[in-house]
Structure 1
Amino acid sequence: MSTSQTLQPGIIAGTDEAGSGCLAGPVVAAAVILPNPCMLIGLTDSKKLSALKRSNLAEAIKEHSVAWSLGLSWPSEIDRINILQASLKSMVRALMGLKITPEHVLVDGKFTVPMHISQKAIVRGDMLEPCISAASILAKTFRDGLMKSLEKKYPGYGLAKHKGYPTKMHLQSIRRLGPSKIHRRSFKGVLPITRERPLWLINT
């Protein structure tokens, strides 16, 4: 039995993010309220779907959901407050953007979001709860499209291909070109490792 079936009656929203492990681009969250009963077939973890299947489901989710919204946190904020806090903040923005205020929120992962609302964090929730699966699909679909667009503004990194993830190609391009404005400078692999000179080597 899913968590949504054990909650008190009310409007339930699911939220999930995409891109937390990337070296470039924003972390994108989505929040979705599905109708009850939900007739959408094929909802699951977005990473388990082909790009075409994700795209088709994303359009169906937008058409048939009660409400949906997106929230973003860009690299400057990620570097300032860390990726976990930025991911949670992007989820809050997505939830705040819903045209209907939910009574319960199901959050993918181990952490709840900083909001005064009934909520539950569910590890692998995108595999267990349809509303979280729908949020996962919307977040990844939007982010993948955004990274393709950013490739035009920041050419040479292969953003359209790897979507900002730390592939060998991406790491090599960072070493060759240096980080761009949309790279997360607090992430390992973006900036070169610097070591302070030992004190005994410093001239006095």
Structure 2
Amino acid sequence: MPDFTLEASMGGLVAGVDEAGRGPLAGPVMAAAVVFLRPCPPELAELLDDSKRLVEAARLRAAAALRAAAAEGAVAIALGAASAREIGELNILHATMLAMRRAVLRLGVAPRVALVDGNRAPKLPCRVECVVGGDGLSLSIAAASIMAKTVRDAGMGKLCLRWPQYGFGQHAGYATPAHRAALLRHGPCPHHRRGFRPVDDLLQGVLLAS
């Protein structure tokens, strides 16, 4: 379970940074940065974990608790995204780094250190430490993973209202069989990641078969 061991070893304000949505065929990649400005209450800490380990209802409860803590000034939360178009132009790695940088720069506080989940980090105006598996080790990174995931999922649900034929509300843009079938049947919408190899390879295969 994540705790504050990593944060305590850094000293000063520490931002946890994580992303959601690197793998989907559609939608943005979303990043979040979270700084605990006060000690995290045990009841909030108990809600936090790697977002992939939490069912949707648990993620939503944790996100609501984090927003409440932010409203009380106990937590700073910021989000950053890179669009489907930017993913196509930059590639998914560089777009993810851009989303993370945007999140940290929007925090409203200047962290001394940014703990970034994974083994690659964006260029930031502070010290950066990469933490592989960080969302299962650090409460700040776990909180960031929850915020990035819940906000992205909500955004994909809104896209589903405009583009219902793709089922974004069910799969959040990931390459499920239903999504792949819809993409082949209807072609891409503006939110599909053209220039992203999994999308281009799928559509190219259709052209070659026709």
Question: What is the TM-score of this pair, normalised by structure 1?
Answer: 0.91
3-state secondary structure, aligned to 1:156:
helix
Q: Aligned partners of 2:35, 2:81: CA distance in 1, in Å?
A: 18
The reply on whether 1:140 has 2:145 as its aligned counterpart is no
Q: CA contact under 8 A between 1:19 and 1:143: conserved in structure 2?
A: yes
Following the alignment from structure 1 to structure 2, what is the Cα–Cα distance between the partners of residues 189 and 113? 24
Larger Rg: 1
2:204 matches 1:193: yes
C-alpha displacement at 1:45, in angstroms?
Answer: 0.7
1:55-105: CA deviation from partner (whole Å, max 9, x where unpaired)? 111011122242101101001100000101111110111111111111111
Where does residue 4 of structure 1 map in the other structure?
7
For 2:34, what is the secondary structure of its paired residue? strand
Check the 8 A contact 2:91/2:196 in 1, yes or no: no
2:185 is aligned to 176
**How many percent of aligned residue pairs carry the same amino acid?**
41
> Tell me, which stretches of 5 or more residues in structure 1 are unaligned?
198-204
SS in 1 for 2:78: strand
TM-score normalized with structure 2 length? 0.88
TM-superposed deviation, 1:188? 3.7
User: Which deviates more, 179-188 or 135-144?
Assistant: 179-188
SS at match of 2:164: coil
- Which of 83, 93, 103 is the aligned partner of 1:84? 93
Q: For structure 2, which runs of at least 5 residues remain unmatched after alignment?
A: none
User: What is the RMSD of the two structures over their aligned residues, measured on CA atoms?
Assistant: 1.9
Amino acid at match of 1:49: L
Q: 1:54 aligns with which of 53, 59, 62?
A: 59
Which residue of the partner structure matches residue 131 of structure 1?
A: 140
Q: Which residue of 1 aligns with 2:49?
A: 44
* Richer in helix (by share): 2
Question: Between Structure 1 and Structure 2, how many residues are aligned?
Answer: 196
